[in-house]
Amino acid sequence: MLVDIVFEDPRWEAADLTGLADGAASAVIDYLALTPPFGDAFEISLLACDDARIAVLNGDFRDRQSATNVLSWPSEERAADNAGGNPIPPEDPELGDIAIAYDTCLREAGEQGKEFPHHVSHLLVHGVLHLLGYDHINDKDACLMEGLEVEILGKMNISNPYEK
């Protein structure tokens, strides 16, 4: 697994985003037992930014003029044909791009009483699943995706992020 990180916000380097991203991405790929085509490694580009930068991206791509925690852009459409179904396995080793905002992640972790690295790992698992075609637009898809997140995070010794 290759995660190529562009550090726009240096706080991410101090938070060991490289280790968190490698761990989260590998955990997803391993759990789903995906094998990269042609024997190559899967690739993800990750933008480590702040709230100002992700707000611009959120406005440009989702028409929402506010910061968010994580955004993802799959390199190709992989969604399942039916709600609650498993997406199409990747045919290209390049999975897509993710952006993650330090300020929002830090604030959410504090508000939710979670360890910052655990919250970031959850959001990265979430983003990688989006790159692989999983979504949470309808109830069946959300149930599938959240269940996978909980199981993958459990294997990483991170508790269920959806429990209060």
Identify the CATH number of the domain in which residue 114 sits: 3.40.390.30
- Residue 34 in contact with residue 90, Cβ under 8 Å? yes
The structural domain count of the chain equals: 1
- Please indicate, yes or no, whether the overall pTM of this predicted structure exceeds 0.75: yes
Q: Is 119 annotated as a binding residue?
A: no
Tell me the per-residue pLDDT of 36-62, one tens digit each, with 9 for 90 and over. Answer: 877 779 999 999 999 999 999 999 999
Tell me the per-residue pLDDT of 75-124, one tens digit each, with 9 for 90 and over. Answer: 999 999 898 999 998 988 999 999 999 999 999 999 999 999 999 999 99
Q: Is residue 163 part of a domain?
A: no
Q: Is 136 annotated as a binding residue?
A: yes
Structural domain boundaries, residue 142: 2-155
Could you tell me the CA-to-CA distances from 84 to 37, 99, 129, 146 in Å, in that order? 25, 26, 14, 11
Reduce the DSSP state of residue 16 to 3 states and report it. Answer: coil
Q: Residue 21: what pLDDT?
A: 98
